[in-house]
């Protein structure tokens, strides 16, 4: 089966009729349907499926064991996201297994396709949740108490999905089996001008929640001079982010939630989420510090309170240079490029040799419905992944 054929099979699952694109989030009905679809596809290929203590699914070709070659990605999306970010890596892994089978290859090392849970953090706020839990990059108690926008905790969502949230936590056994991990992903900027490339690094990045508190009141009856409107420092924060992110730094406010959120109501509280990224740890933190200082000043000027919580953070990732160069050579000298996007591969890279393959994105758009990869490029990605797995598992 081709990657595009497999993507077509899930084209209706989680299509977002309101925002456009796809909304597929960890442990929601849609993601559970996708997980079932993946398990059925794995079964069709005779792969043996296991779900780990954190909800990640592993489909093994051969017996699970040490020095395994692992590939895969995620099936969840951002709200209103594209069809490729995540699923392309999963379907390409299945298609690569088909290619290797068809040519009569039998892996000498254990080989598995993994689906990580809630990579985007679109529901519970922390990205790469499945890989963070495995590696111990997030405390399981903290994870269990994360809440979605409806106030449902991760623990309750896992329970509602028929699984056991008490098992969440570091999984040294799962990690010990991984000889190397290769994640194929659609490229997310305009960095790749040939069908396939390999990743060199990921920007340092994190998420911060700013809570501004003021006085809820009537939009018509309250004189402008009497207001303590938390939306005003929230607006300043958006502008501060634009001003502070210079050079290779990026700062984004993609989500603002006023409480209670009425057109004729001055909010009593506004929550603003900042996503900030840059080439190194010091630059990222200084950009955030600058934005924070501006936000504090704006809050004080409006007589509002401010609380800042770091919700996730990861330092710059440099992918294993030996594996990267090896794969580039195996693939005929494809280019290596850095990315500003986060990935489960970036989390695993702190523990196991990790690499990424990128497939060209002619739109330069991602995390939006326009995200795209040409069918021929997707198949080039499958061929590259198959060659990679053959090389690594021989
Ligand atoms: C995930 O795709 C991210 O980089 O935010
Ligand atoms: Mn993404
Ligand atoms: Mn992704
Ligand atoms: Mn990602």
Same domain, 191 and 256: no
Q: Do residues 329 and 227 both lie within one domain?
A: no
Cα–ligand 4 centroid distance for 341 (angstroms): 6
Same domain, 179 and 228: no
Work out the number of other CB atoms within 10 angstroms of the CB of residue 65: 12
**What pLDDT score was predicted for residue 284?**
98
Residue with token string 């699923």 = 87
- Residue-number span of the structural domain to which 183 is assigned: 3-203+316-393
Q: Which residues pair with 310 in a beta bridge?
A: 208
Instruction: Tell me: do 187 and 220 sit in the same domain.
Output: no
Are 14 and 136 part of one and the same domain?
yes
pLDDT at res. 41? 98
CATH number at 277 reads 3.30.70.360
Question: What are 230-284's pLDDT values in tens digits?
Answer: 999 999 999 999 999 999 999 999 999 999 999 999 999 999 999 999 999 999 9
Q: Of 259, 285, 314, which one is at a domain's C-terminal end?
A: 314
Nearest bound ligand to the CA of residue 73: 3
User: What would the pLDDT profile of 299-333 be if each residue is shown by its tens digit?
Assistant: 999 999 999 999 999 999 999 999 999 999 999 99
Q: Structure tokens of 296?
A: 């504090």
User: How many domains is the chain partitioned into structurally?
Assistant: 2
Q: How far apart are the first and last CA of the chain?
A: 23
| Paired strand residues for 255 | 273
The preferred substitution site among 24, 77, 87, 367 for testing ligand 1, maximizing ligand atoms within 8 Å of CB, is 367
Q: Pairing mode, if any, of strands 57-61 and 48-51?
A: antiparallel
Per-residue pLDDT of the chain (394 residues; tens, 9 = 90+): 999 999 999 999 999 999 999 999 999 999 999 999 999 999 999 999 999 999 999 999 999 999 999 999 999 999 999 999 999 999 999 999 999 999 999 999 999 999 999 999 999 999 999 999 999 999 999 999 999 999 999 999 999 999 999 999 999 999 999 999 999 999 999 989 999 999 999 999 999 999 999 999 999 999 999 999 999 999 999 999 999 999 999 999 999 999 999 999 999 999 999 999 999 999 999 999 999 999 999 999 999 999 999 999 999 999 999 999 999 999 999 999 999 999 999 999 999 999 999 999 999 999 999 999 999 999 999 999 999 999 999 9
Q: Which of 266, 287, 314 is the last residue of a domain?
A: 314
Q: Quick one: 58 and 198 in the same domain? A: yes
ipTM above 0.95, yes or no: no
Same domain for 162 and 38, yes or no, is: yes
Is there a single domain that holds both residue 301 and residue 385? no
Q: Which ligand is nearest to the CA of 186?
A: 3
Q: Does one domain contain both 146 and 12?
A: yes
CATH code, domain with 327? 3.40.630.10
Instruction: State both tokens at 68.
Output: 């395994």
Pocket test for ligand 1, best of 81, 88, 120 (most atoms within 8 A of CB): 120
251 in the same domain as 381: no
Q: Which of 271, 288, 314 is the last residue of a domain?
A: 314
- Hunting for tokens 């160069």 — which residue is that? 325
Distance 297 CA to ligand 2 centre (A): 33
Ligand 1: list residues with CB < 6 Å. Answer: 120, 127, 341-342
Q: How many helices (H) and strands (E) does the chain have?
A: 12, 15
Answer yes or no: do 131 and 239 share one domain: no
Residues 37 and 160 in one domain: yes
3-class state of residue 54 by DSSP: coil
Residue 253 confidence (pLDDT): 98
Q: How many CB atoms lie within 10 A of CB 179?
A: 18
Tell me, in angstroms, the distance from the centre of ligand 4 to residue 166's CA: 26
What is the distance in A from the centroid of ligand 3 to the CA of 101?
27
pLDDT value of residue 289: 98
- How far apart, in whole angstroms, are the C-alpha atoms of residue 385 and residue 95? 9
Looking only at the bridges linking them, the beta strands covering 178-186 and 354-359 are parallel
């Amino acid at each position: 089966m081709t990657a595009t054929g497999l993507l077509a099979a899930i084209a209706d699952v989680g299509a977002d009729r309101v925002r456009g694109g796809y909304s597929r989030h960890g442990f929601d009905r849609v993601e559970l349907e996708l997980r079932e679809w993946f398990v059925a596809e794995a079964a069709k290929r005779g792969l043996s499926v296991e779900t780990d203590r954190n909800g990640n699914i592993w489909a093994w070709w051969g017996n699970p064991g040490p020095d395994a070659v692992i590939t895969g990605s995620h099936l969840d999306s951002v709200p209103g996201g594209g069809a490729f970010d995540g699923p392309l890596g999963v379907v390409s892994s299945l298609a690569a297994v088909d290619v290797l089978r068809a040519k009569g290859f039998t892996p000498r090392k254990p080989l598995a396709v993994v689906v990580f849970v809630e990579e985007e953090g679109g529901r519970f706020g922390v990205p790469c949740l499945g890989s963070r839990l495995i590696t111990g990059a997030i405390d399981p108690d903290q994870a269990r108490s994360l809440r979605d926008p409806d106030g449902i905790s991760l623990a309750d969502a896992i329970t509602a999905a028929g699984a056991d949230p008490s098992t969440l936590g570091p999984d040294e056994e799962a990690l010990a089996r991984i000889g190397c991990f290769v994640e194929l992903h659609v490229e997310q900027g305009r960095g790749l001008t040939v069908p396939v490339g390999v990743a060199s690094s990921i920007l340092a990045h994190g998420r911060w929640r700013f809570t501004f508190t003021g006085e809820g009141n009537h939009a018509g009856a309250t004189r402008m001079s009497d207001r303590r409107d938390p939306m005003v420092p929230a607006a300043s924060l958006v502008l501060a982010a634009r001003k502070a992110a210079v050079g290779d730094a990026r700062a984004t406010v993609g989500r603002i939630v006023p409480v209670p959120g009425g057109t004729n109501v001055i909010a009593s509280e506004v929550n603003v989420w900042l996503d900030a990224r840059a080439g190194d740890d010091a630059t990222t933190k200084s950009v955030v510090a600058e934005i924070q200082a501006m936000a504090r000043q704006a809050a004080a000027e409006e007589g509002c309170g401010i609380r800042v919580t770091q919700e996730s953070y990861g330092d710059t990732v440099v992918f294993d240079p030996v594996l990267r160069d090896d794969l580039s050579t195996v693939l005929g000298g494809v280019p290596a490029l850095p990315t500003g996007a986060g990935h489960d591969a970036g989390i695993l890279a702190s523990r196991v040799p990790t690499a990424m393959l990128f497939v060209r994105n002619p739109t330069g758009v991602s995390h939006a419905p326009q995200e795209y990869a040409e069918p021929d490029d997707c198949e080039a990605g499958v061929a590259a992944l198959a060659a990679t797995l053959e090389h690594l598992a021989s």
